[in-house]
Structures are given as structure tokens and as C-alpha cells.
A = this chain, B = another copy of it.
Amino acid sequence: MRRMDIRSIEWKNDSIRIIDQTKLPAKLEYLDIKDIKTLWQAIKVLKVRGAPALGAAAALGVYLGIKDVRAPDFAGFNVQLGKVIDYLGSSRPTARNLFWGLERMRFVALKNKSRPIVAIKKLLFVEAQSIIEEDRVACRKIGEYGSRLIAKKDTILTVCNAGILATIDYGTALGVIYRAQEKGKDVKVYACETRPLLQGARLTVWELMKNGVDVTLNCDNMAATLMAQGKIDKVIAGADRIAANGDTANKIGTYSLAVLAQHHKIPFYIAAPASTFDLKIRTGKDIPIEQRKAEEVTELFFKDRMSHKDIKVFNPAFDVTPHNLITAIISDKGVIRPSYLKNIKKVIC
């Protein structure tokens, strides 16, 4: 089957074009974002989401935020640039790629501060496009490296959406699956629905079906039973931030799958590009975890009440999987195995 040709995010018509992921699977709708407030909001409510896609959104967002700035000199321009970067950085705290994208843009501006503002703007645009192109390539490399770990007829459990929609166009965890499929490995997938926002049920199922991958949906609390019944050969998840020791923040529920995989002696893999690693952070304890609104849990998309209106709700968006539960991390630089503290540096740097 020919791969679905969509891009989750790109620069088009002087604006950032994204797929509005809150509309899927009901409809594939694009949004042209023309200002950074709209972008900030789109990131906050997960119209655009997924760590690598957020790296691209951040970079394009910086360009969007400064392209019309008028400043007499670099100092003045840099103040505006700093404001844009700080503002976009305040949208969501966990995904490393968002900050990595912002930092790369800041670095390019500073490196070229002696050039005319108009030239700096052009270089920032080029940098954002590079980030996008690099992610495209990185996902294909992750897919290739990861696919070598997949056996013929493997059934793979995944969580949230680490696919086309979370990256530019191929995916990290799902990139591994796509590549294995391209190689004729005939893989099957179970997709955890991923409460509360159902990225698995809405997004992963949608893109895997579109690409002809055999996928079955399960509620998150059914994963253990699938494993106990011998239905799962491997678990592969994406990542939002990976600490120097391999501890990995990813969508809430990932840690649970890692514990369950260990109990059932099933390999548990993380798939992520180098841009998701945060080597300044020693362990998962230091990764900031976003807490989100109670209404995400008590109302389905803020519409249908599913619980008492005054109930207290525990709703972290992410959890941290300790490195000792991770069989290997599949990066675009190669497959990293324990000891992570040593091998992440060796492979990524």
C-alpha cells in the first residue's frame, strides 16, 4: 500500500499550516496559523502535538513571531526575539523538542548578530526549514534502525500517537512499524486508546488504518491482559524528553506499560530522535511534568460529563519511565542499549 502523503506541519502561504488534530478522526482539516497567539493556543489544546512536531512548530513559530518585527539594531531585534521564544516556551513544559527548536533559532540569531536584520530573518526561516527536514530524515532513520529489531509477524503494542501526526511525516514509534511493514514483516499493532485525550483511539488508529497497517484498539487498562494472553511481542512508545540516564518522559500510561512489559518479559522500546534527549537533565526526577485540566477527564472534549462536576482529578499529561525498564532506545543515530548513562552520550553526542 502506498504511504499516505500528508505533512502534519509546514510553512505555507506565509503561515504555519497544521492538521487540526482535535478534529480527527472525524475530519482531516488544515489550519493556517498567522500569529503566535493562535499558535500558542493550538499547542496548548493539542491541535498540534507530539514532541518532534512541537520542535518544528516552535521553530516556525519563532519565524512567524519575528518576520514582521521592525528594529533599529540587533539589540532591539533580540529583545523581540526573546519575547517570542519565552512566550512559545510557556505553552507546554514537558516536550524537550519544543525548547530545542526555540534554542536552535536563538542560536542562529546570535551567531549572525552582526548581519542585517533582514538577513537574520532569512537565516531563521532557513533554520526552521532545516529543523523540519532533519526531523523527516531522523524519523526515517529511526524507522530503519527500529525495523531491524522487529521480527516477521510481530505484534506491537503502542500508546498515544508517535506517528506521522506527532512528527513531520513518518513517525518515531510508528515509523518503526511503517518501515517494518515496508520490509514485508507483516506486523500487527494494538493501539492503547490513551486517556484522557484519546490520541491512540483518534490519531494512531486513523493513520495506521490509512496506511494499511493491521491495528486493533484497546482501552489502556486492557494492555496487561493482552500481554498475559501472549498477544504482544514488543512495546514501542515515543518520548517527550529523555534524561542523560535514559529515564524517559512520555504520554501518561507509558510507565505503566513498561512495568507490565517487564512483568510479562516483553521487550519495551522507546523511539525518539536526538532532539528529544536532554543531557543537561540527569534523571527523570528533574523533567517537568505538565498537569492538565480536570475537565479533560470528567468531560469528553469538554462536552459530555463523565463524572461529578466537583470531583478532584489527578491528570498529569506525562509520566516518567525509569531507564531500567527500557530494553533499548531507538534513535536516529542508532539503537542505544544500557548502560544508558554511558551509551546515550556515545551515540547521541
Residue numbers of A with Cβ under 8 A of B are: 25-26, 159, 190, 192-196, 198, 201-202, 205-206, 209, 215-226, 228, 252-253, 255-256, 259-260, 262-263, 297-298, 300-301, 303-308, 310-316, 319
User: What are 18 A-B pairs at a CB distance below 8 A?
Assistant: A25-B307, A25-B308, A193-B306, A193-B307, A195-B219, A198-B306, A216-B311, A217-B307, A218-B297, A218-B314, A219-B253, A221-B221, A222-B253, A224-B255, A256-B256, A256-B260, A300-B306, A301-B304
The 3 residue pairs across chains A and B that have the minimum distance between CB atoms:
A221-B253, A224-B256, A220-B221
Given A195-B195, A225-B319, verify A307-B219 contact (CB < 8 Å).
no
> A226 is contacted by which of B201, B224, B314 (Cβ under 8 Å)?
B314
* Residues of chain B lying within 8 A (CB to CB) of residue A25: 305, 307-308
> Residue on B with the closest CB to A296?
B219
> A224 is contacted by which of B216, B297, B301, B319 (Cβ under 8 Å)?
B319
* Residues of chain B lying within 8 A (CB to CB) of residue A297: 193, 201, 217-219
A324 to chain B, nearest CB (A): 12
A307 to chain B, nearest CB (A): 4
- Cα(A196)–Cα(B217), bound, Å: 12
Inter-subunit contact B319/A259 (CB<8 Å): no
For A198, A215, A313, the residue with the greatest tally of chain B CB atoms inside 10 Å of its CB is A313
Inter-subunit contact A255/B228 (CB<8 Å): yes
A190 to chain B, nearest CB (A): 7
A302 to chain B, nearest CB (A): 12
How many copies the complex holds: the figure is 2
- Cα(A205)–Cα(B294), bound, Å: 14
Given A300-B304, A310-B209, verify A194-B215 contact (CB < 8 Å).
no
* Residues of chain B lying within 8 A (CB to CB) of residue A310: 209
- Cα(A35)–Cα(B260), bound, Å: 45
Inter-subunit contact B312/A216 (CB<8 Å): yes
A334 to chain B, nearest CB (A): 29
> A222 is contacted by which of B190, B192, B222, B252 (Cβ under 8 Å)?
B252
A122 to chain B, nearest CB (A): 43
> Residue on B with the closest CB to A219?
B195
A67 to chain B, nearest CB (A): 38
> A312 is contacted by which of B217, B263, B301, B312 (Cβ under 8 Å)?
B217
> A206 is contacted by which of B198, B224, B308 (Cβ under 8 Å)?
B308
A192 to chain B, nearest CB (A): 7
A233 to chain B, nearest CB (A): 15
Inter-subunit contact A314/B201 (CB<8 Å): no
> A216 is contacted by which of B159, B193, B314 (Cβ under 8 Å)?
B314
* Residues of chain B lying within 8 A (CB to CB) of residue A300: 300, 304, 306
Inter-subunit contact A218/B313 (CB<8 Å): yes
> Residue on B with the closest CB to A260?
B259
- Cα(A332)–Cα(B84), bound, Å: 64
A135 to chain B, nearest CB (A): 26
Inter-subunit contact A201/B304 (CB<8 Å): no
A189 to chain B, nearest CB (A): 10
Given A209-B310, A308-B209, verify A196-B219 contact (CB < 8 Å).
yes
Given A259-B224, A298-B217, verify A304-B304 contact (CB < 8 Å).
yes
Given A225-B255, A259-B260, verify A219-B315 contact (CB < 8 Å).
yes
> Residue on B with the closest CB to A258?
B224
